[in-house]
Structure 1
Amino acid sequence: MTATVAEVTDQEIARRLTSAEVSNLSVARALGVPWGRVDEVRRRLGLATYRRGRRVPETTWQEAVRRRVREVPGGHADWTGSYHPNGTPILSWRGRAQTAYQAVFRLHYRRPPQDNISHSPECDRERCVAGEHLEDRVLREQRRSREAGGVR
């Protein structure tokens, strides 16, 4: 059942107007309300006017990573950023590029990865970027040691 225009509250409109990156038109269409009403709420909130193509730059690479990771059911995470033509998720920030796996790994484990990053055996989602589902050489060796019953 779709809400009528009268049922949509200004609070619902305000929740959709999260930043200057969200257009009045996209909110109006999503909620089925007039563009002018959304504009009125934007002005009351003191939000900057939406400008097509305008993007607020992230101040840290951690913010850039978090902004591009979307958690999904099952503890997995999808990358909403760019992809290399070979399908690898890529983080480009301030003229530097690295795989999303490297960026997420560094953020999650608070250290740079040692050698290649792979998915843990428990993760069956292709291109998952959940930090706890990624492992480098050190984590792989630790896991294999535990599985073999020994401790290195």
Structure 2
Amino acid sequence: MSRAAIEQLLHAGYGDRTIARHLGVSIGTVRRTRTLLRLPAGRPGPKSHGTPADVFWSRAKPVDGGHMEWTGTVHSGTTPSLRHGGHRYSAYRIAFTIAHGREPVGRTQPGCGHPGCIHPRHLEDQTMRDTFAAIFGTAA
């Protein structure tokens, strides 16, 4: 597993043991990466999920090629979803908002070609697809 994946999970607030278990690396590898990045030592104990974005990061798993896959619930067989505060949210829509700072317009889906990718920067909405089609003259 790459150092980038460890770094991404450290910045997302995961604990050392969780990262090690999730990525299949030693706790020592995670701790050395934390030290190289000059991040404070992790605190033991469960993390609270304060926002839908926090829940998103707790269930997103980095995979090869810079993509991310969903480890949580899938609604209607195809849509990665999460529950927070009694509401169901599309993980695609939460991830899109994380990356772009705005709510997506229309359907949100991966634009990278990796099936089921939920990496925030790999998602696109209808506005982005329309813009692509206007520029390149083809459907995205």
Please name the residue that 2:72 is paired with.
81
Please name the residue that 2:120 is paired with.
131
CA shift, 1:146, in A, is 2.3
Please name the residue that 1:93 is paired with.
84
- Runs of at least 5 residues in structure 1 that lack an aligned partner in the other structure: 1-13, 19-25, 32-44, 49-54
Of structures 1 and 2, the larger Rg is shown by: 1
Tell whether the 8 Å contact from 1:91 to 1:103 is kept in structure 2 after alignment: no
Tell me how far apart the structure 1 counterparts of residues 100 and 113 of structure 2 sit (CA, whole Å): 21
- Which runs of at least 4 in structure 1 moved beyond 3 Å after TM superposition? 45-48
- Runs of at least 5 residues in structure 2 that lack an aligned partner in the other structure: 1-14, 27-41
* Equivalent AA in structure 1 for residue 93 of structure 2: Q
Cα RMSD between the aligned structures?
A: 3.1
Tell me how far apart the structure 2 counterparts of residues 46 and 84 of structure 1 sit (CA, whole Å): 33
Q: Is the partner of 1:74 in helix, strand or coil?
A: helix
Kindly tell me the number of residue pairs found equivalent between the two proteins: 105
* Equivalent AA in structure 2 for residue 82 of structure 1: T
Tell me how far apart the structure 2 counterparts of residues 81 and 106 of structure 1 sit (CA, whole Å): 18
Going from structure 1 to structure 2, the CA distance change for 1:64 and 1:104 (only over 3 Å counts) comes to same
Identity of aligned residues (%): 27
Please name the residue that 2:59 is paired with.
68
CA shift, 1:127, in A, is 1.0
Tell me how far apart the structure 1 counterparts of residues 43 and 122 of structure 2 sit (CA, whole Å): 40
CA shift, 1:126, in A, is 1.5
